[in-house]
Amino acid sequence: AQSVTQLGSHVSVSEGALVLLRCNYSSSVPPYLFWYVQYPNQGLQLLLKYTTGATLVKGINGFEAEFKKSETSFHLTKPSAHMSDAAEYFCAVSARANNNDMRFGAGTRLTVKP
Amino acid sequence: IAGITQAPTSQILAAGRRMTLRCTQDMRHNAMYWYRQDLGLGLRLIHYSNTAGTTGKGEVPDGYSVSRANTDDFPLTLASAVPSQTSVYFCASSEGTGSPLHFGNGTRLTVT
């Protein structure tokens, strides 16, 4: 089965600073990888996904993530944080065989200071 | 607006009572899922359905049941609620393998 570890349950950055949210995965087969964002009292929304092809994936709101197979990582970055980026972020992994085994990390809460 | 509708938004339930959480999608997705979200644990899969008429168990299925009579609806039933089932429940759907999940806004359930 797949698993995901998100390093840091809470990350705080200043507005305009680099955002780096860490995700490491474990999978016995080539994975699909996702980042989701959750705003208060809402469901999760897709930020970006890696399936095949280019390892640097660009998503919405200026976020991007790089799939590094050798490091089993899929870290999420944004060059300049905005106040509206404050939310909870979840990394998820699923096996290429089916989505029924999609596993989520515990989440990282991002705080953006003015 | 296309998406997933969950009801109720929140509920306080006495232990031992039966409860059905409703989920309806209008995207005609074949696959649907129920997750529970607990602080520090992320989301854990309860049950899933790959297509109408079929269901399967996820990571934490005990105490829950589901049915999939048609493509659009995927209700989750707690036959006899216990306090450990206090959680936020999310319904989701997807087009299939490799596709991202689309989530509803969740049902916050408190079992007392």
- For residue A32, give the chain B residue with the closest CA: B98
Q: For tokens 């109408």, name the residue.
A: B52
Identify the band that residue A97 occupies on the pLDDT scale cut at 50, 70 and 90. Answer: low
The pLDDT, as a whole number, for residue A1 is 74
> Any chain A CB within 8 A of the CB of B1?
no
What's the gap in Å between the CA of A21 and the closest CA on chain B?
A: 15
Residues 40-99 of A with CB under 8 A from B: 41-46, 49, 51, 90, 94, 96-99
Please name every residue paired with B4 in a beta bridge, in sequence order, or none if there are none.
B25
> Any chain B CB within 8 A of the CB of A3?
no
What's the gap in Å between the CA of A25 and the closest CA on chain B?
A: 14
Does the pLDDT value for residue A101 go beyond 80?
no
The tens digit of pLDDT for each residue in A4-50 reads: 999 999 999 999 999 999 999 998 888 899 999 999 888 999 999 99
* 8 Å CB contact of A44 and B43: yes
Does the pLDDT value for residue B1 go beyond 70?
no
> Any chain A CB within 8 A of the CB of B97?
yes
Nearest Cβ partner of B106 from A43, A46, A94? Answer: A43
Q: How many CB atoms lie within 10 A of CB B35?
A: 27
The tens digit of pLDDT for each residue in B21-36 reads: 999 999 999 999 999 9
Looking at residue B73, the DSSP 8-state letter turns out to be B
Partners of B43 on chain A (C-beta within 8 Å) are 44, 90, 104
* 8 Å CB contact of B106 and A34: no
The pLDDT, as a whole number, for residue B55 is 95
* 8 Å CB contact of A100 and B58: yes
Contact B65, B77 (CB under 8 A): yes
Q: How many CB atoms lie within 10 A of CB B11?
A: 16
Burial environment of residue A97 by CB neighbours within 10 A (0 to 12, 13 to 18, 19 or more): exposed
